[in-house]
Structure 1
Amino acid sequence: MSKVVLHIGTEKTGTTSIQHFMSQNRQALLAKGIVYPNLGSRKDAHFDLVNSVHPLDNGGRHMEFLGPVTQPVDFLWNKLEECINEHPNKTIVLSAEHFSSRLREHALKYIRDFFEKLSITPQIIIYLRPQADYIESSYSTEIKAGSPKVFKKVMEQYQSQSLRYDYEQLIDLWSSFFNKDSINIIPYEKSSIGDDIRLNFLSAIGVTDLSGLDLAKAKLNKKWSNPMLEFARLANARMTHITGQQRLDFLTFAQEIIDIELKPQPSHLMTIEQYNEVMAYYESSNARMCKKYMPNRQVLFMDEVKLNPFRETVSTPFLTQFDFIKIIYTLFLKGYK
């Protein structure tokens, strides 16, 4: 009988690296008994599989960043069933962080019923990142996507986003539909995943022989510095007429200038007080989750906080007015059009 691995995220835990690796190594993995199916228009991840059931929990809406959907709910899931039947005794691996970030009770019931019909208990893999780091990284993604939101607003909202940052509630939800013993929770920190998230994932899905696999690292999702994030936020708020590829080209050009002219160093978006506030807020729920789902682990996160400098105060600017003018002047000199 086929085995199914459902990699459900969470977001900002190396999912893009895992998905790129899995898609680039489809044939080599198949030779090792691992099937990474092509389902939908996205060839790297299974977003379309998530998108097909997304309306069940989201007022009939599909995910906003994907194209229009013309197929019925069952279409891709029927394709998945065909794939499973075509590959008996192999491991089918599905990966999309939006399984955990977007789907709720109705979609999870659909997925549970789908696998029960096939007499399959999927193994679920989920990586969890320290909430404070997750908040900072999520903010960066929002700005890259075009948001004009100030970071202060994020700090005012994080406590209300329970199913995003309260991991106990998230895992409780999934364990109410799937066997809790089939949920493999992996803290997204070096002591748990090592230096390469891809190797950790391969181990989690049972691949120990790395021969034939292309492990060259691609440049994916380059991290933006705090000055770059603030410059992009200002651009998002005031240059709404620049969209699509034109916007991306402009910000890529600006990023090159900021890196050269300002030479920004890695740093936190939060002050140390804010960082500790976030981790303290979720400390109890993290501990309860460990007790229920990871009884051999005392605390969820063991590693020391990243050594990057913290923001000095909540009013310390991410980008000074002087540096902003310097960037604009350099853009002018280089003749961006």
Structure 2
Amino acid sequence: MSKVILHIGTEKTGTTSIQHLMSHNRQALLAKGVLYPNLGARKDAHFDLVNSVHPLDNGGRHMEFLGPVTQPSCFLWDKLEECINEHPNKTIVLSAEHFSSRLREKALKYINDFFNKLDIKPEIIIYLRPQADYIESSYSTEIKAGSPKVFKKVMEQYQSQAFRYDYKQLIDLWADFFSKDSIKIIPYEKSSIGDDIRLNFLSNIGVKDISGLNLSKAKLNEKWSNPMLEFARLANARMKDITGQERLNFFAFAQELIDTKLAIKHTQLMTEEQYKEVVSFYRVSNDALCKEYLPHRSDLFLDKLKTSPFRDSESTASLTHFDFMKIVYEIFKRNQK
């Protein structure tokens, strides 16, 4: 019988790197007994599989960043069933961080019923990132996607996003539909995953021999400095007519200018007080999760705080308006050549 592994996220835990590795090594992995199936228009990850059941928990809406859905909700799940039946004795790996970030009770019941029908008990892998890091990284993604939101607004909202940042609630939800012993929780920190999240993932899906795999790293989700994030935020609010590749080129040149012409002080987005507030808010929940699901660990997260300094204060500017105009002027000069 086929073995099925669901890699459900969470977001901002190296999922893109994992999916790039898996999708670019399909044939080599198949030779090792691991199938990473093509399901839907997206070839890197299984977003379309998630999207097909997304409406069940989201007012009938599909995921906004994917193309129009033309098939019924069961279409891709039927394709998955065919894939499972055609590959007995293989380990079938499905990966999409939106399994955890977008789906709730109705979709999880659908998925559970699907695997029960096939008499399969899927194994679930989920990586969890320290909440303060996750909040900062999520904010960065929002800005890259076009948001003009200030970081202060994020700090006003994070406590209400239970299934995103309260890992106990998220894991308990999945445990309601899948047995607790089928859920593998891996803290997203160096002491748990090592230097390369991809190697950790391969080990956890049973691939011990990495010979024949292409492990070259693509430039994925490059981290922006705080001044670059602030420049992009201001640009998002003022330059809504710049879209697509033109927007990407604009920000790529702006990043080059910011890195070369400004004296960047690398800091976290949070102040020390904000960081302590986040850690304190999730302490009880994290401890309860650790006690119930990871009893061999003393704490959910063991590694020390990152070395980059905290932001001096909430009002400390990451980028002054003068520097913003300076960068815009440099871009203007380039376009005049």
Q: TM-score, normalised by structure 1?
A: 0.98
Q: Which amino acid aligns with 2:226?
A: N
Amino acid at match of 1:186: I
Unaligned residue ranges in structure 1 (runs of 5+): none
1:334 and 2:334 are equivalent in the alignment: yes
Partners of 2:51 and 2:123 lie apart in 1 by 21
Q: Which residue of 2 aligns with 1:144?
A: 144
1:31 corresponds to 2:18: no
DSSP-derived class of the 2:184 partner: strand
List structure 1 segments (4+ residues) > 3 angstroms apart after TM superposition: none
> Who is 1:134 aligned against?
134
CA 210–228 in structure 1, closer or farther in 2 if over 3 Å, else same: same
Secondary structure of 1:335's match? helix
Does 2:244 align with 1:244? yes
Rounded to whole Å, the distance in 1 between the matches of 2:264 and 2:61 is 40
Letter in 1 for 2:92: I
**Correspondence for 1:189:** 189
The Cα of 1:327 is off from its aligned counterpart by 1.0
1:104-160, CA deviations, whole angstroms, 9 ceiling, x for partnerless residues? Answer: 000000000000000000000000000000000000000000101000000000000
Counterpart of 1:40, as a letter, is G
3-state SS of paired residue (1:101): helix
Equivalent residue number for residue 78 of structure 1: 78
TM superposition shift of 1:243:
1.9
Could you tell me how far 1:27 is from its partner in structure 2?
Answer: 0.5
Partner of 1:171: 171
Q: Cα–Cα, structure 1 residues 26 and 266, in superposed 2: closer, same or farther, change >3 Å?
A: farther
- Match of 2:203, SS state, is helix
Identity %: 77
Q: How does 1:199-238 map to 2 (within 5 A)?
A: 199-238=199-238
C-alpha RMSD of the superposition: 1.1
Q: What amino acid sits opposite 2:104 in the alignment?
A: R
SS at match of 2:177: coil
Structure 2 counterpart of 1:64: 64
Cross-structure match for 1:51: 51
Q: Could you list the per-position Cα deviations for residues 192-245 of structure 1 after superposition, in whole angstroms to 9, with x for gaps in the alignment? A: 000000000001101100110111111111111111111111111111122222
Aligned pair count reads 337
**Which ranges of structure 2 fall in alignment gaps of 5 or more residues?**
none
After the TM superposition, which residues 290-301 of structure 1 pair with which residues of structure 2 at under 5 Å, given as runs?
Answer: 290-301=290-301
Residue of structure 1 equivalent to 2:21: 21
Q: Name the structure 2 match of 1:93.
A: 93
Shift of 1:333: 2.5
Aligned letter for 1:5? Answer: I
Instruction: Report the alpha carbon displacement of residue 251 of structure 1 after superposing the two structures with TM.
Output: 1.3
Secondary structure, counterpart of 1:124 in structure 2:
strand
Q: Deviations over 1:86-117 (max 9, x none)?
A: 11001000000000000000000000000000
Could you tell me how far apart the structure 1 residues matched to 2:265 and 2:184 are?
Answer: 35
